Structure 1
């Protein structure tokens, strides 16, 4: 465990830390981060891993590789104080911290580079070098010198074809930018993917173990673990000037959380916050269960209902239980895949249409490679909550929304937000720690906000 030190009025702690970044998406950031986490874990190190930006699939992979839960760090969605606190808390117990970047190094506002600059984190540049040799050095050098407030510690050449390929790249690298590792082009190292990103860890756990170990061995032969541990430790400062805010209470409230292969897009930070507010959590499977647990509120998170639409449609016991919970006027939050589940029908990736819950009018359907993604604020009646959208489906015939998401930097209306009884349904994935008070109101068995909650009519309203 690292020792805390006090500097003036601030507590500090230090440990090696690095952001694994890349020139673009698809360069192998998650593969390298997972392999590095497993390598260090195998060496007996406590490895804490974070993911930059809103992502559910990469953290599942990285949690299995490192042996610890993985949380998001995002300066816009979570805020600087939140990120600072999470890094400080991790550094108190970790031997090393890894942060996987998002998209390209400088992409987005804020970007991975912004996060690195804010907290003094060096960056490890991962680049797929297929089809390049000396040009790799030119691109890496340009990235390294693009901003003075960002430090690139070195390059990992991913998908390197041969020892000669490595020699050509290394010979062209500038003296201040070392080639720290050359990872061979090997399909056994790459992580499996599907239409929204990586395949969920729970679906391919044994296969992932083989890939983690193979990746760890490849990085060990390059000495990347030792190179990382040899970097100058990063000093993390506790956010002592952060005002103390008493969390709203959900004491006595039990929140049922759908969690299975169809519904798994869950921020660990969201679960942690609900528990910190006093809520009891219980989990259920809309795929395999036939009744709900004894609970006061429900959360239907995003996931892959389109891959399991037939099973969801055939589970009549669960559908009846969810409909009864809705009719009873109990709070339900349905996000993205949860929204699709609440509609009348869902057309899956093979063009087959299946009956869903019918809590909201409308039908959902997959739409190939086209999709929607981006940061938005959800202006809920309970209060604004920052969120993001990422889906490749569309919904039609839905009721008039009570509001639309507000995009981060674009005036066009964002994702619609629907309200029927105590059901709140939207494509947006909410980051609960951004506004705990709003989240407490949302899940409270007794409504705590003003305003009309019946702007959207359910199918059940027509038959009562």
Structure 2
């Protein structure tokens, strides 16, 4: 038995990540063992939540991850922690499946975060609507951007039978953002001081916390995938330009027997010569385009690996770094590795977003897409992903020799066999 909460809101921008990070840090400082999860596909928020909690953060999504693996991850966390916090995605009922669906599936009550900065008693109508629309079990409310103690009392009185669990004032210094979301924790000066300040400013009702009933999360079986990558060494790019990588992807590759070797294109490191395959995950190549364009050793090594027929899987930012050129946000064009003929250019608006699946001979490989760039290429796509739940055409998947490249971010644990095929030589 463990205390568990799903931290959700009426929409994005209400302060879910800030509230979850503040609560996680505060509970850790109270001596609690805290595990945090993130609903839906996301790379950046989990990095901040991991920093706040001091423990790995995994994804929960009833479609992409699947009910069975979600259950396994929650059961493992429940066996190791005193508290489980799950940050929702977008609004509580947004998406198919939604954060509310996850709450009901595992019996985890909702802690609603509201931006109270421009309201008072209307907070009650908003929260009761969130609770009753589904309905969901509502544990309480965290009111964000509260101006004063009097303001907090007005919000609390409007909630009627729902407790005001905590408040946060308007922040003088907010967590910085860029086009794909929050700035990475390692780039924020004094990030731990900022998290400690958030925890200090969270006015927290410990009595309400003590009254929260524990949640029973049943243990779930955890079958291991076949060791189809036994004896294979996979080289994985990992640095400030290539860091959007599900931890579950690494775990799945290892569970299939692969040995993982990490290298840094930004540091102009060559692909390890002993690598049987190469994985280039997403990230921010557009922020490091000049440095990547000058990384002659890295470029020569990836071209050599491609010429030798080494399987290369490049997703989103990884694919961008393999085009002929990359135009950054300022419009300046830089030469890239040139394995995928074409030009990538950053766009002012979102160019792709949402859950998608790729049909393969091994079944559907699930994942998502989220990018602000476009690729102009004459290469005919070998396949397309399918958007979920609309079932309309999604991202193009390109194959050029031993290279498979797409804006699609694959979640390997959704289909280990299909994922392994990406790193095996085609015959």
User: TM-score range with shorter-chain normalisation?
Assistant: over 0.9
User: How far apart are residue 169 of structure 1 and its match?
Assistant: 1.2
1:108 and 1:151 map into 2 onto residues whose CA distance is 19
Post-superposition Cα deviations, 1:5-28, rounded to whole Å, max 9, x if no partner, equal xxxxxxxxx110110001000111
Matched, 1:155 2:134: no
2:205 to 223, 228, 231: 223
Show the counterpart of 1:393.
373
2:183 to 189, 193, 199: 199
User: How far apart are residue 397 of structure 1 and its match?
Assistant: 2.2
For the residue of structure 2 that corresponds to 1:97, the secondary structure is strand
1:119 to 85, 100, 106: 106
What TM-score do the two structures reach when normalised by structure 2? 0.96
Matched, 1:263 2:246: no
- Cα distance change, pair 81–262 in 1 and its aligned pair in 2 (3 A): same
- Cα distance change, pair 380–229 in 1 and its aligned pair in 2 (3 A): farther
Does the Cα contact within 8 Å between 2:224 and 2:255 map onto a contact in 1?
Answer: no
For the residue of structure 1 that corresponds to 2:337, the secondary structure is coil
Runs of 4 or more, structure 1, over 3 Å off, are 226-230, 380-383
2:216 to 229, 235, 253: 235
User: How far apart are residue 40 of structure 1 and its match?
Assistant: 1.4
User: How far apart are residue 162 of structure 1 and its match?
Assistant: 1.7
Unaligned runs of at least 5 residues, structure 2: none
- Cα distance change, pair 102–395 in 1 and its aligned pair in 2 (3 A): same
2:147 and 2:351 map into 1 onto residues whose CA distance is 34
- Cα distance change, pair 411–274 in 1 and its aligned pair in 2 (3 A): closer
Show the counterpart of 1:342.
322
What TM-score do the two structures reach when normalised by structure 1? 0.89
Does the Cα contact within 8 Å between 1:53 and 1:74 map onto a contact in 2?
Answer: yes
1:326 and 1:381 map into 2 onto residues whose CA distance is 24
For the residue of structure 1 that corresponds to 2:108, the secondary structure is coil
Q: 379-388 or 176-185: which moved more?
A: 379-388
Does the Cα contact within 8 Å between 2:348 and 2:372 map onto a contact in 1?
Answer: yes
2:337 to 347, 354, 357: 357
For the residue of structure 1 that corresponds to 2:213, the secondary structure is coil
For the residue of structure 2 that corresponds to 1:330, the secondary structure is coil
User: How far apart are residue 269 of structure 1 and its match?
Assistant: 0.6
User: How far apart are residue 280 of structure 1 and its match?
Assistant: 1.0
Post-superposition Cα deviations, 1:361-387, rounded to whole Å, max 9, x if no partner, equal 110001112321011111245653111
1:349 and 1:278 map into 2 onto residues whose CA distance is 40
Show the counterpart of 2:21.
34
Post-superposition Cα deviations, 1:134-188, rounded to whole Å, max 9, x if no partner, equal 111111111111123x1111111101112222122122221x2111112111223
Show the counterpart of 1:311.
291
Paired residue total: 426
2:289 and 2:361 map into 1 onto residues whose CA distance is 31
Does the Cα contact within 8 Å between 1:48 and 1:98 map onto a contact in 2?
Answer: yes
2:325 and 2:186 map into 1 onto residues whose CA distance is 26
User: How far apart are residue 62 of structure 1 and its match?
Assistant: 0.7
Show the counterpart of 2:310.
330
1:187 to 172, 194, 207: 172
1:291 and 1:208 map into 2 onto residues whose CA distance is 32
Show the counterpart of 1:9.
none
User: How far apart are residue 46 of structure 1 and its match?
Assistant: 1.3
1:77 and 1:308 map into 2 onto residues whose CA distance is 30
Does the Cα contact within 8 Å between 2:36 and 2:58 map onto a contact in 1?
Answer: yes
Matched, 1:276 2:246: no
Post-superposition Cα deviations, 1:207-256, rounded to whole Å, max 9, x if no partner, equal 3211110111122x4235x633541100011225x8x5642421111111
Unaligned runs of at least 5 residues, structure 1: 1-13, 451-464
Matched, 1:292 2:271: yes
Does the Cα contact within 8 Å between 1:363 and 1:398 map onto a contact in 2?
Answer: no
1:214 to 197, 201, 209: 197
2:349 and 2:209 map into 1 onto residues whose CA distance is 37
- Cα distance change, pair 380–316 in 1 and its aligned pair in 2 (3 A): farther
1:305 and 1:394 map into 2 onto residues whose CA distance is 13
User: How far apart are residue 299 of structure 1 and its match?
Assistant: 0.7
For the residue of structure 2 that corresponds to 1:237, the secondary structure is coil
Show the counterpart of 1:406.
386
User: How far apart are residue 45 of structure 1 and its match?
Assistant: 1.6
Does the Cα contact within 8 Å between 1:380 and 1:403 map onto a contact in 2?
Answer: no
User: How far apart are residue 345 of structure 1 and its match?
Assistant: 0.4
Does the Cα contact within 8 Å between 2:227 and 2:255 map onto a contact in 1?
Answer: no
Q: 340-349 or 380-389: which moved more?
A: 380-389
